[in-house]
A = this chain, B = another copy of it.
Amino acid sequence: MVRTYHHGDLRSALVEAGLRALETTEIGDISLRQIARDVGVSATAVYRHFPDKRALLVALAGAGIEKLGEAQRAAAESAGGGPGAFGATGRAYVRFALAHPALFRLIFTHLPPPGDTVFGESLAARLLQEKAAAATGGDPAETRRLMVQAWAVVHGLAMLMLDGQLPPDDALIDQVIDPATLFGRRR
């Protein structure tokens, strides 16, 4: 690979370098200039492919959402796709957050207004919708309630563990995401 003035596919290279940086660097310390340095390009070259730093971060978040959905899909599949699959996608959600803290935070929290994360159209979102519908038998209001409750539980658990408020413990994840004690209508 000869060094030429033009890079070839700088955009993808920047996204890859950004994802790599997010594996080792707190989100607040992610620097556009550092990513450019990693790729071996001037800082301002980034602006030929992204209007500003935020746009690059949005691209990274998009890649992250895909990874998250894929992890959840795989978890549901290996759970057999039955009623146990809902819990499996939830556990996968939390584990993904713990495995990729900065990326997870970027997806949900670290894109200042407007938060155009497009999570809404992701595979992850579709899985949530689908599993909740299966669990409620189809009633739309019940489905929506369950969806939001389930999302809130896993998201809250993930954030509290990421932020050091709860131990990032696999046993605790299983205990919290337990269909026997969650969402059961009393009596």
A143 interface hit (Cβ, 8 Å): no
Is the pair A176, B28 in contact by a Cβ cutoff of 8 Å? no
A175 interface hit (Cβ, 8 Å): yes
What's the tally of chain A residues with a CB closer than 8 Å to chain B?
44
> How far does the alpha carbon of A165 sit from the alpha carbon of B180 in the complex, in Å?
27
Interface flags, A15-42, vs B, CB<8A=1, else 0: 0000000000010100000000000000
Is the pair A181, B109 in contact by a Cβ cutoff of 8 Å? no
Is the pair B105, A163 in contact by a Cβ cutoff of 8 Å? no
> How far does the alpha carbon of A157 sit from the alpha carbon of B148 in the complex, in Å?
8
A74 interface hit (Cβ, 8 Å): no
In the complex this chain forms, how many copies of it are found? 2
Nearest chain B CB to A43's CB is how many angstroms away? 20
Q: Given the complex, which residues of B lie within 8 Å of A108, measured CB to CB?
A: 159-160, 163, 165
Interface flags, A98-111, vs B, CB<8A=1, else 0: 00000001001110
A80 interface hit (Cβ, 8 Å): no
> How far does the alpha carbon of A157 sit from the alpha carbon of B155 in the complex, in Å?
8
Is the pair A176, B160 in contact by a Cβ cutoff of 8 Å? no
Is the pair A115, B163 in contact by a Cβ cutoff of 8 Å? yes
The contact of A153 among B105, B113, B153, by CB within 8 Å, is: B153
| Extra A-B contacts (18), CB below 8 Å, given A152-B156, A185-B186 | A26-B112, A26-B113, A28-B112, A105-B109, A109-B109, A109-B162, A109-B163, A117-B164, A145-B181, A148-B157, A148-B175, A149-B176, A151-B160, A152-B153, A156-B158, A156-B159, A183-B183, A183-B184
